[in-house]
Amino acid sequence: MKPGAVNPGSVIRTRALTKRYGGLRAVDDIDLDVREGDVYGFLGANGSGKTTTVRMLLGLVLPTSGAVEVLGQPMPAARRTVLPQVGALVEGPGSYAHLSGRANLALLDASGPDRSPRSIRRTRIGEVLEQVGLDPADRRPTRAYSLGMRQRLGLAAALMRRPRLLVLDEPTNGLDPQGIQEIRLLLLRLNSLGTTIFLSSHLLAEIEQMCTRVGVLDRGRLVLQEQLDVLLRPTGLVAVRTADPSRCAVLLGDAVEVVEGDRLLVRADDPAALNAYLVGQGVRVAEVGPYRRDLEQVVLEAGSGERSDHQPLLRAVSRERSDHRPLRRAVP
């Protein structure tokens, strides 16, 4: 492919995209590749440059250098053609606080150059409010809405024109667990109907449960971009937990890749045979099983490797799962 050419099926593509504020590089030379049909998870700690990147994609902020293409067209030059096909929720939803959710959506749709007839607009407003879990008959002003309700209204606004591309910045912010699950199912349903979704988040669990492709931003730099199933595929290693790690390491020799406390990562084809061998040698094996990296480990390895840099990410999932996936209990 020639330099600058658009990938077949490319929905978002950036080349050396950079944004500087004085001496600070908020976004540093990134090459995004979001393909048609993706649920693309744009993952990074708060302050890593995610929102600045999203704003450049939508033409809200001009890059210092580099190029952006959305739906195959240059941004912001083609914004009049591109933006009517894009639904976006960036930096929290905005609304007129004295108006109801329905009135806010009606005003938004009526202001566009390709506004729908009033009867069609009224029907569509009811549809999107129900889609995001808001009552179309609710006449309260949005100043009375909770944060979660305002977030749902922002998502409803993004869906008004049945967009080809949804660009969402922390769309589940302020929602309770049930609300998060409802929005997740809604987005997956929209994706199954053909909408490409670009989802910016600092929540590992949200990305891991929804996305097909992942980009990781670390202090403004894109340190990883790959299909999620590729990142989480089996490693070919077996994890062994034992009260005798030193003896186990001596017995297995060069087959041992890593020793971490009471856990070893070992190159082996058959976990059951490995367990039988170790037990036969008198090693006290507690657990054994195929080793897979989870997304948390992938992010840490892709970044600087300094755990403190990723604490916002790690805290986001700390109550949802332990550090490692469960291993199969060994039977001597």
pLDDT the model gives residue 113:
54
pLDDT the model gives residue 301:
74
Question: Residue 77 contacts by C-beta under 8 Å, 6 or more apart in sequence?
Answer: none
Is residue 313 in a domain?
yes
> For each successive 10 residues of the chain (332 residues), what is the average pLDDT?
50 96 93 96 89 94 96 94 92 81 83 63 89 91 88 89 91 83 88 93 86 92 92 86 94 92 92 94 92 80 53 38 35 35
Is residue 134 in a domain?
no
- What's the start-to-end Cα distance of the chain, in Å? 56
Domain count, the chain: 2
Same domain, 226 and 254: no
Exposure of 7 by Cβ count < 10 A (0-12 exposed, 13-18 middle, 19+ buried)?
Answer: middle
Same domain, 260 and 181: no
Is residue 140 in a domain?
no
Whole-structure pTM value: 0.76
Is residue 163 in a domain?
yes
pLDDT the model gives residue 236:
84
Q: Which residue range(s) make up the domain with 227? A: 10-94+152-231
Boundary residue ending a domain (216, 231, 246): 231
Strand 65-70, strand 33-35: pairing: unpaired
- CATH code of residue 203: 3.40.50.300
Same domain, 223 and 311: no
Same domain, 188 and 266: no
pLDDT the model gives residue 202:
84
Same domain, 157 and 67: yes
Tokens read off for 44: 């990074």
Boundary residue ending a domain (212, 231, 250): 231
Residue closest to 128 by CA, chosen among 157, 93, 95: 157
pLDDT the model gives residue 306:
44
Boundary residue ending a domain (209, 231, 253): 231
Enumerate the β-bridge partners of residue 287. 241, 329
